[in-house]
Amino acid sequence: MLLSRIDKPGWIFLGVLALACIVVPGLNLLTAPGSALHVPTYAVSLMGKYLAYAILALSLDLVWGYCGILSLGHGAFFALGGYAMGMYLMRQIGPRGVYGNPILPDFMVFLNYKELPWYWHGFDWFPFAAVMVLLVPGILAFVFGWLAFRSRVTGVYLSIITQAMTFALMLAFFRNDMGLGGNNGLTDFKDILGFNVQAQGTRVALFVLTALALGLAYLVARFMTTSAFGKVLIAIRDAESRTRFLGYRTAHYKVLAFTVSAMMAGVAGALYVPQVGIINPSEFAPANSIEAVIWVAVGGRGTLVGAALGAVLVNYAKTLLTGAMPDAWLFALGALFVVVTLFLPKGILGTLTERLGSRRAKARLPGPKPGEIPPALAEEGRGS
């Protein structure tokens, strides 16, 4: 039943992901480092990072594209997922830190912590950390969404307070008293599930895992948006108060979508951290969240596949440009924001499918005739 709900771009997307899961590891592991076909390990991690961003974009599209909630704080959920994973990775360092303390991470020794803060307990156990990756962003989103949507904070106001939320979290995580590494964040990871995070095999595995997670996130989002739930979400996006008058508790729908979306973003962050090797408070910066919005806008909001595509394209361009012409990147990114909103409001995928779709639709249906009266009524009207 789920399979029938996947559209053509969806199948192409899933196909490309499956292909990447085979080709990229193959070209990395099976070819010689010097050969033309070889994909170096750093590039595998870089692509893994793009895919983690794609999951974030997908989660943002779920709320923005389908429910009209423009969150400028999704970077916070991403970062919280990342911190949960980072805490697990910190505990895996064990006595191999600079100070050699078997319990306390280096920064705690440095800051004269006597014992592990209570919220660090359990993070040495992977299943616990994995649950926290989902729960921490999920609970924050639930509480935040419950408050905001129940009191009908919408549109711009919601965007502004989500931005305030991530900003507040950034300030909080910069504090050393938070016990999460302050300014420097969490880094110097050694192992994940017993495998060396730097090792080629681990990196390839993380890439494949990220690709699978992206596919799964797509399926979840697609399932949600094509169900009756999704129809209500779109109704809320188009005319929230009308939806309410039909008897739907729109706040519940929004909270549910927002929470699921935040959990996805958390997973994205958790996959991102071991591949880049660090998580620090700057991930909470409001600018990051806004940048994620432009990925979605570029690819096409309300298309899911487009959001993922946009994330990969924009970040690939960022890698190219910041390498070649560092000064040009912000000009390009800024221009991208302006050009996409002015000339490409539906994004790449939205514009493409619209072109194809409208050609087909025109062939099938005649245009509406204004003033046409329903035959049943017209008859009865004359009769009475």
Tell me the Ramachandran region of residue 318: left when phi exceeds 0, alpha when psi lies from -120 to 50, beta otherwise. Answer: alpha
- Could you say which residues in the range 77-116 bind other proteins, by CB under 8 A? none
- Confirm or reject binding of residue 174 to other proteins (CB under 8 A): yes
- Could you say which residues in the range 209-228 bind other proteins, by CB under 8 A? 224, 227-228
Site string for other proteins, 355-384 (x = CB under 8 A): ----------x-xxxxxxxxxxxx-xx--x
Backbone angles phi, psi at 248, to 5 degrees: -90, 135
* C-beta of 209 vs 234, nearer to other proteins: 234
Closest alpha carbon to 260 in 227, 298, 211: 227
The distance of closest approach from Cβ of residue 355 to other proteins in the complex, given in angstroms and rounded to an integer, is 16
The distance of closest approach from Cβ of residue 183 to other proteins in the complex, given in angstroms and rounded to an integer, is 12
Neighbours of 60 (CB within 10 A): 31
3-state secondary structure of 349: helix
The distance of closest approach from Cβ of residue 281 to other proteins in the complex, given in angstroms and rounded to an integer, is 11
- Confirm or reject binding of residue 117 to other proteins (CB under 8 A): no
The distance of closest approach from Cβ of residue 301 to other proteins in the complex, given in angstroms and rounded to an integer, is 10
Residue whose tokens read 């050699």: 100
Q: Rounded distance, CA 372 to CA 364, Å?
A: 19
- Could you say which residues in the range 226-265 bind other proteins, by CB under 8 A? 227-229, 231-232, 234-235, 237-239, 241-250, 252-253, 255-256
Neighbours of 346 (CB within 10 A): 17
The H-or-E segment that residue 187 falls in is: strand 186-187
The distance of closest approach from Cβ of residue 82 to other proteins in the complex, given in angstroms and rounded to an integer, is 20
Structure tokens at 54: 């794609």
- Could you say which residues in the range 310-349 bind other proteins, by CB under 8 A? 327, 330-331, 333-338, 340-342, 345
Q: Rounded distance, CA 75 to CA 55, Å?
A: 12
* C-beta of 152 vs 190, nearer to other proteins: 152
C-alpha distance across the termini of the chain, in Å? 48
The distance of closest approach from Cβ of residue 78 to other proteins in the complex, given in angstroms and rounded to an integer, is 18
* C-beta of 270 vs 292, nearer to other proteins: 292
3-state secondary structure of 327: helix
CB 119 within 8 A of CB 111: no
- Confirm or reject binding of residue 152 to other proteins (CB under 8 A): yes
- The site for other proteins, by CB under 8 A, has a size of 84
Which range of residues in 78-86, 110-118, 162-170, 317-325 is near other proteins by CB under 8 A? 162-170
